[in-house]
A = this chain, B = another copy of it.
């Protein structure tokens, strides 16, 4: 525990009202979106200026306690779970959209801005911020940058790092740096900004983020295609790309997920199909029309039993419901839902889904698979009960095997959730010694007292 004297010094930095250390407060911040993991912080602290954050970090170095930054706590890899002798540094009240610069196509925001709020604000002026993680209605931009969050539009539009132009951040030693800016091209010195993106709160606390915006696509068209087999859906994905069409959204659900969604949402999905694809193309109206016309026969050629095309925005939203409900539908089937994000090169989509389904069977786990077909980012989702020790053990074994298979197919442990606590044992086990050593060296030189989110990504 952080001692009373240090707590008093924290209070003197941020004010007594901004240090929350009652048992209730501590419990409230003991977990995030990741199942199974939790741990009590000593306190949750709200700072209100860059200077306060800087002082907190200086104190942390002096007194050797840990600082765990937290936005909305929606993370799925345990990135904001407290560690021993730690405070949670709350950032969700840093929620101002400071500027939308329509000439330079940028948005300057505080890290606590909710992703969907930014979407709404910029779309009102005809602009577009593409990254759209599943939790966009509640997650924060700061968290998105810390995890380099992805989303449904990754294939065509890239992920969070492709939109971060500048970062103001407090480093572990309390020093404030301002990296990047409104210049489209900038190669002055090392690319420190992009190194901070995806650093999972272990290198710096973000205090301002400058984001790139693009013009909002003029038109979009949404389609839903049903397939007997996952391989047919995967071949459709390959053929769409081979036709040089890059859809904004190219998502799939496997049979287990479809059945859960239909039980939950009753939207009329046939429960006997093997897979469905949700496809959305966007851009110039003529391009959208052309691409739609090309995609339909591609799906049919690959055996699609039905291709639905939305003709209104309402219809488009209805078609999207299947994909949007996937997580909620799976989550209600059993008490504990473990959503992972094993990712493979797009060409390995069908083999990987097949492997996941075999592994689930082998370990007798109920598992649905859905995700981003266009970018190979899969969400194998185990439906389990954390009180069932035996089943939980099998779930763990199954996931270990899934990750190993993903790596063997040229994939990665995590496409968009981060390593955090949840996957560091796999990173430890399977990443090359050169890469591990490189990461540890960098962490050590940038945070020698290990005060920023210690023990996340790798052991220190």
Contact = CB atoms under 8 A, between A and B. Distances in A.
Contacts of A375: 183-185
**Size bin of chain A's contact surface:** 35 or more
A323 interface: no
B187 A191 contact: no
A121 to B, nearest CB: 16
B431 A189 contact: yes
A185 B442 contact: no
A27 B435 CA distance: 38
A284 B285 CA distance: 10
Residue among A104, A183, A415 having the largest count of chain B Cβ atoms under 10 Å? A183
A82 interface: no
Nearest to A103: B347
Contact of A181 (B412, B416, B442, B458): B412
Contacts of A242: 102-103
Nearest to A377: B185
Copies in the complex: 2
A189 B343 CA distance: 14
A376 B183 contact: yes
A347 B106 CA distance: 11
Nearest to A288: B284
Contact of A190 (B182, B198, B414): B198
Interface stretch (A171-179, A253-261, A305-313): A171-179
Residue among A147, A241, A242, A412 having the largest count of chain B Cβ atoms under 10 Å? A412
Contacts of A410: 181-183
Contacts of A199: 190-191
Contact of A103 (B176, B181, B216, B346): B346
A17 interface: no
A244 interface: yes
A109 interface: no
Contacts of A290: 284
A442 B190 contact: yes
A457 B190 contact: yes
Interface of A: 101-105, 126-127, 147-148, 150, 154-155, 158-159, 161-162, 171, 175-179, 181-192, 194-195, 197-199, 214-216, 238, 241-242, 244-246, 283-287, 290, 343-347, 372, 374-377, 410-419, 423, 427, 431-432, 434-435, 437-439, 441-442, 444-446, 457-458
